[in-house]
């Protein structure tokens, strides 16, 4: 449990400083999980950096998605996206 708390603290402070933490390397050994909110923040940040997008560009794209919701048939699980 202490490893998880230490990892979460370090990751949160790294993100708050607007630094990009290294992508996790999965090797043989015990996995350490982080809370869901932090996990989403990390995944979003890593994906944004990999795509070379600014926060403003992501916000603009998210706004377009919110303004143009998917057709209703996708919400009823009919058809393909």
81 domain residue, yes or no: no
61 domain residue, yes or no: yes
**Span 52-70, average pLDDT:** 81
Domain range for 34 is 2-75
For residue 53, count other CB atoms closer than 10 A to its CB: 14
Total-model pTM? 0.59
43 domain residue, yes or no: yes
pLDDT at 35 over 80: yes
Check residues 29 and 4 and name the one with the higher pLDDT: 4
80 domain residue, yes or no: no
pLDDT at 52 over 90: yes
Structural domains of the chain, count? 1
27 domain residue, yes or no: yes
Q: In terms of Cα–Cα distance, which of 72, 20, 8 is closest to 45? A: 20
16 domain residue, yes or no: yes
Binned at pLDDT 50, 70 and 90, residue 71 comes out as low
């Amino acid at each position: 449990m202490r490893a998880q708390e230490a990892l979460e603290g370090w990751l949160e402070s790294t993100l708050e400083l607007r630094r990009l933490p290294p992508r996790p390397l999965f090797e043989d050994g015990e996995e350490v999980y982080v809370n869901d909110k932090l996990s989403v923040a990390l995944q979003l940040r890593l994906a944004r950096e990999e795509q070379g997008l600014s926060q403003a560009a992501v916000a603009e794209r998210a706004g377009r998605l919110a303004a143009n919701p998917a057709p209703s048939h996708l919400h009823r699980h009919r058809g393909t996206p």
